[in-house]
């Protein structure tokens, strides 16, 4: 690839080997608005496509991804480090499913639907919901799930008739470029799906631009800035941000299953998931056996290059993540945590490798409540009972996801309903994000709005309510002029419709007929005399 001028290029690196994967041209901030303008022109064309045509094109994109599944998974692994098995299973497979899920349910989600009206005054009216595309949507996606997360915005946006301007992470520009190609090759017009590349200033320019709505996934700090900037032009936003996800392990949990689930939930993708397990609250009766099982399983994890099919834990995605985790572990130790295993950088492997780390504490660590660690670190703490575990789980500025481990369905559901988070899994972790119909949201500092499922698609449209009165010659009694007779009629009508005493309702009938019968005249000239 020909070398571009330094100020206009973005270089991608394999975090496991630090080798360069190539360069892409940066979209300068001053050029972003022109890209949005082009997407606006594409929007007027794309929204005129029949819904069935858009769904057909998305199905072709699905098949394109399926046919290129292995190469896409390898690209994800090379560019951000995660093991190939995860890239294939939780990114590509889930991405193929997501595209098909929306394309096959286009009619169900986007066809006009009736709204039955219960009130006697309105029961003869036509009443529908109509779904209008919003226009040009800005989609800013992160590096940790560089395929599935952007697809969660791109697919429903295109299906519902919007055009998009997509900015992938600066860490994974080639995955973003490949996504763009998949959809263009399927038949999405170039003016409908635009891609821009760059770092934070390019993303900031997109938020400031004339896009109609911004969909951002990333850190809470940046998400807050996105919301502040968007508010200046009254743009709506959907923000999927950070988490500090708790796991509650009850004394009746299957220790083998719970420990395996926590190890996978804490260390898959090297802990770089917004819904990774970070805090584990274990009943004191089983905490020793539980932590022994966790440590035994962590020590069996195989570290290495993600392209090696035997690798369980690969590198962190960037140098900044690498240094951040080391700093946070040191801080936790100063606060009183014990390192039970791990806790070291693995410089000899050549890339950004950090040992999977298990910390133990018997007192709350503020850093685990205030910060999202986003790395291969899990903190285990004993609790006296379910109530204390719930209390500790909820003592966080985040509210994204959580898990509960117990043999009792009733107990698991009871605890889950008391946890302050957007989602809870009982006896599993993380994979609810791969269940496309499971609407995904966060509370507190973890999110605004929805992705995935029907609720995620609703974020892409203006849900317009339309009401039609076929009795166009009937004067409405609530129109002008007001007066004592009108008020008396309304009072009688309220008694007839809502009073619990049947006798009082029957007594109100003559008054209701006296007042309302004159509004049943089908003659507009007579209405002028009312």
Q: Check pLDDT > 50 for residue 3.
A: no
What is the spatial distance between Cα 288 and Cα 16, in angstroms, rounded to a whole number?
35
Q: Give the active site residue among 274, 278, 355, 372.
A: 274
Q: Check pLDDT > 90 for residue 82.
A: yes
Q: Check pLDDT > 80 for residue 528.
A: no
Q: What is the pLDDT of residue 5?
A: 43
H helix intervals, 358-407 = 366-370, 386-394
Q: How many domains does the chain have?
A: 3
Token pair recorded at residue 472: 């166009």
Least confident range of 110-124, 161-175, 281-295, 367-381: 367-381
Cβ count within 10 A of residue 51: 16
Q: What is the pLDDT of residues 342-358, one digit of tens each?
A: 999 998 899 999 999 99
SS3 157: helix
Higher pLDDT, 313 or 530: 313
Token pair recorded at residue 522: 């089908």
Q: What is the pLDDT of residues 211-257, one digit of tens each?
A: 999 999 999 999 999 999 999 999 999 999 999 999 999 999 999 99
User: What's the whole-number mean pLDDT along residues 370-395?
Assistant: 94
Does residue 2 lie within any of the structural domains?
A: no
Does residue 7 lie within any of the structural domains?
A: no
The beta strands (E) that lie in 300-456 are given as: 338-341, 357-360, 377-383, 398-399, 401-405, 423-426, 443-444, 447-448
Token pair recorded at residue 371: 């910060």
Q: What is the pLDDT of residue 321?
A: 93
240 tagged catalytic: yes
Residue 175, CA atoms < 13 Å, CB-side half-sphere = 33
User: What's the whole-number mean pLDDT along residues 313-339?
Assistant: 94
Residues of the domain holding 513? 484-527
CATH code: domain of residue 59:
3.40.605.10
Does residue 173 lie within any of the structural domains?
A: yes
Q: Which residue has the tokens 């997501």?
A: 98
91 tagged catalytic: no
Residues 6+ apart with CB under 8 A from 337: 359, 360, 361, 365, 379
Q: What is the pLDDT of residue 525?
A: 52
Does residue 17 lie within any of the structural domains?
A: no
Q: What is the pLDDT of residues 418-462, one digit of tens each?
A: 999 999 999 999 999 999 999 999 999 999 999 999 999 999 999
Q: Give the active site residue among 79, 86, 91, 240.
A: 240
Q: What is the pLDDT of residue 59?
A: 98
Token pair recorded at residue 294: 């966790």
Do 148 and 194 fall within a single domain?
yes
Do 229 and 365 fall within a single domain?
no
User: What's the whole-number mean pLDDT along residues 196-224?
Assistant: 97
**% of residues, the chain, pLDDT over 90:** 88
User: What's the whole-number mean pLDDT along residues 315-341?
Assistant: 94
H helix intervals, 301-396 = 319-334, 366-370, 386-394
Does residue 175 lie within any of the structural domains?
A: yes
Does residue 476 lie within any of the structural domains?
A: no
What is the spatial distance between Cα 481 and Cα 14, in angstroms, rounded to a whole number?
75
User: What's the whole-number mean pLDDT along residues 87-112?
Assistant: 97
Q: What is the pLDDT of residue 518?
A: 73
What is the spatial distance between Cα 367 and Cα 334, in angstroms, rounded to a whole number?
11
The DSSP secondary-structure symbol of 345 reads B
Do 386 and 503 fall within a single domain?
no
Do 147 and 291 fall within a single domain?
no
Do 376 and 302 fall within a single domain?
yes
Q: Check pLDDT > 70 for residue 128.
A: yes
Q: Are 163 and 137 in contact, with CB atoms under 8 Å apart? A: yes
Q: What is the pLDDT of residue 471?
A: 86
What is the spatial distance between Cα 95 and Cα 191, in angstroms, rounded to a whole number?
23
Among 259, 255, 288, 262, smallest CA distance to 277 is for 262
Do 495 and 396 fall within a single domain?
no
Q: What is the pLDDT of residue 520?
A: 65
Q: Check pLDDT > 80 for residue 530.
A: no
**Nearest-5° angle of CA 348, CA 352, CA 357?**
90
**% of residues, the chain, pLDDT over 70:** 96
Q: Which residue has the tokens 């689930």?
A: 261
User: What's the whole-number mean pLDDT along residues 399-426?
Assistant: 98
Do 428 and 492 fall within a single domain?
no
Do 504 and 399 fall within a single domain?
no
Does residue 458 lie within any of the structural domains?
A: yes
* pLDDT level of residue 521 (50, 70, 90 thresholds): low
Do 459 and 431 fall within a single domain?
no
Does residue 22 lie within any of the structural domains?
A: no
Work out the mean pLDDT of the chain and round it to a whole number. Answer: 94
Q: What is the pLDDT of residues 448-504, one digit of tens each?
A: 999 999 999 999 999 999 999 998 888 888 899 899 989 999 999 999 999 999 999
Do 233 and 312 fall within a single domain?
no
Measured CA to CA in angstroms, residue 61 lies from 162, 188, 270, 453 at distances of: 17, 9, 29, 19
Q: Are 329 and 339 in contact, with CB atoms under 8 Å apart? A: yes
With residue 363 as reference, give the H or E element that holds it.
Answer: none
User: What's the whole-number mean pLDDT along residues 500-510?
Assistant: 95
Do 225 and 265 fall within a single domain?
no
Do 39 and 141 fall within a single domain?
yes
Q: Check pLDDT > 90 for residue 315.
A: yes
């Amino acid at each position: 690839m020909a070398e571009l001028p330094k100020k206009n290029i973005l270089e991608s690196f394999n975090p496991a080997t630090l080798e360069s994967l190539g360069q892409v041209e940066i979209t300068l901030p001053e050029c972003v608005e022109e890209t949005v303008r082009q997407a606006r022109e594409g929007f007027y064309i794309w929204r005129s496509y029949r819904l069935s045509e858009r769904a057909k094109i998305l199905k072709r994109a699905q098949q394109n991804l399926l046919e290129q599944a292995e190469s896409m998974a390898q690209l994800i692994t090379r560019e951000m480090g995660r093991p190939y098995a995860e890239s294939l299973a939780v990114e590509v497979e889930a991405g193929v499913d997501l595209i098909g899920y929306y394309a096959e349910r286009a009619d169900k989600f986007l066809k006009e639907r009736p709204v039955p009206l219960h009130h006697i005054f309105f029961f003869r009216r036509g009443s529908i919901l109509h779904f209008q595309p919003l226009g040009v949507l800005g989609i800013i996606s992160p590096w940790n799930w560089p395929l599935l997360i952007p697809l969660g915005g791109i697919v429903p946006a295109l299906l519902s008739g919007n055009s998009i301007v997509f900015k992938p992470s600066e860490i994974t520009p080639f995955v973003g470029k490949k996504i763009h190609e998949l959809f263009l090759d399927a038949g999405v017009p170039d003016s409908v799906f635009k891609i821009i590349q760059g770092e934070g200033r390019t993303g900031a320019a997109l938020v400031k631009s004339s896009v109609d709505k911004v969909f951002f996934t990333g850190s809470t700090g940046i998400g807050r800035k996105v919301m502040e900037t968007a508010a200046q032009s009254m743009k709506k936003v959907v923000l999927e941000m950070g988490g500090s996800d708790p796991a509650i392990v009850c004394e009746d949990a299957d220790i083998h299953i719970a420990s395996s689930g926590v190890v996978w939930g804490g260390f898959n993708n090297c802990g770089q998931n917004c819904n990774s397990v970070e805090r584990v609250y274990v009943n004191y009766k089983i905490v020793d056996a539980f932590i022994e099982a966790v440590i035994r399983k962590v020590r069996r994890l195989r570290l290495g290059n993600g392209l090696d099919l035997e690798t369980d834990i690969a590198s962190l995605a960037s140098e900044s993540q690498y240094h951040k985790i080391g700093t946070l572990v040191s801080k936790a130790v100063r606060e009183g945590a014990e390192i039970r295993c791990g806790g070291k950088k693995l410089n000899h492997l050549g890339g950004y490798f950090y040992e999977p780390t298990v910390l133990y504490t018997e007192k709350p660590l503020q850093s685990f409540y205030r910060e999202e660690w986003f790395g291969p670190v899990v903190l285990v703490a004993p609790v006296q009972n379910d109530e204390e575990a719930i209390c500790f789980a909820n003592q966080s500025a985040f509210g994204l996801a959580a898990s509960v481990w117990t043999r009792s369905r009733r107990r698991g559901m009871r605890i889950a309903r008391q946890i302050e988070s957007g989602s809870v899994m009982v006896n599993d972790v993380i994979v609810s994000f791969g269940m496309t119909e499971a609407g995904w949201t966060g509370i507190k500092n973890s999110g605004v709005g929805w992705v995935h499922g029907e609720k995620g698609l609703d974020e892409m449209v203006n849900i317009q309510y339309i009401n039609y009165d076929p009795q166009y010659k009937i004067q409405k009694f609530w129109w002008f002029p007001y007066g004592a007779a009108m008020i008396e009629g309304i009072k009688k009508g309220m008694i007839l419709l809502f009073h619990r005493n049947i006798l009082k309702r029957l007594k109100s009938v003559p008054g209701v007929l006296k007042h309302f019968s004159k509004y049943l005249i089908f003659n507009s000239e007579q209405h002028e005399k009312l």
